[in-house]
Amino acid sequence: MFQGYGFYLAAGLLFVVLALIGRVMWQGFLSRDAFKEAADKLGIAWNETEPFAPGECTGTIDGDTVRIYIEKVGSGSMERQLTAVEVDLVPPLDVEFDIGKENIITRLFRRAGSHDIEFDDAPFDKVYRISGHDHVAIRKLFTTDVRAALVLMAKGSDDLIIRPEMIRWEAGRRVFRSDELVRVAHAACSAARGMRNAS
C-alpha cells in the first residue's frame, strides 16, 4: 500500500531541510544589512564575523565606545541568539545599584515590602526598578536626561544591564531594523554621558 511513496517522502523531507536552511540564510542577510546600515548611520565600523552572520559594529560616538553584536547564549537545544548594544562607561561608576525591568514579580515583591527607589517619573518607574544602599548618590546619577534615555532604550529590549564599566541593552532576538540599533546606541551614549556628568 505504501510502496512508491518513498520518493515523495524523501522529496518532502529535502524541501523542509532546504526551506530551513534558506530561512536561516535569509535572516542572516536581513540582520547583516541592518548592522551595516546602522554602522553607516552611526559613523562606526562594521566587521564581518562569519558567513551569513550580521557581523559586529564597533567605534566611538561622541567619545563613547560602542559595540553592537549578536551573542549566542545557552547550548544545544537551549541555544539562542540575542542582540546586544554596549557602551563603555569611562571612568567607571563608583555607585553600586541594581537595575532591572519592572515585571509582575517585582511588583509583587514591592507589595510584600521590598523597597526600590522611585523617582516620581511615571514612564521610568513603570519600566524600571532600581535598588541600592546609597539612595542619594543613585538619585544624583539618574538625572532626568539619563532616565529619559533609559526609557528610550526600554522599547524592544529584554534586559538592561548597568555595571560600573558599561551599559548593556539586550534583545532576545536578532534585530532586523537598523533604526532600532541606531536609536538604542544613541540613547545608551546619552545615558552614559549623563551618568558621567552626574558623578
pTM: 0.77
Could you read off the pLDDT of 169-196 as tens digits, one per residue? 988 877 778 899 999 999 999 999 999 9
Specify if 131 maps to a domain: yes
Specify if 112 maps to a domain: yes
Domain that holds residue 182: 6-74+82-198
- pLDDT class for 198, splitting at 50, 70, 90? confident
Specify if 53 maps to a domain: yes
Amino acid at 30: L
Specify if 35 maps to a domain: yes
Number of structural domains the chain divides into: 1
Could you read off the pLDDT of 82-104 as tens digits, one per residue? 889 999 998 999 988 988 887 67
In this structure, are strands 64-73 and 80-88 parallel, antiparallel, or unpaired?
antiparallel
CA atoms within 13 A on the CB side of 132: 21
Specify if 1 maps to a domain: no
- CA–CA distance, 98 with 128 (Å, rounded to integer): 10
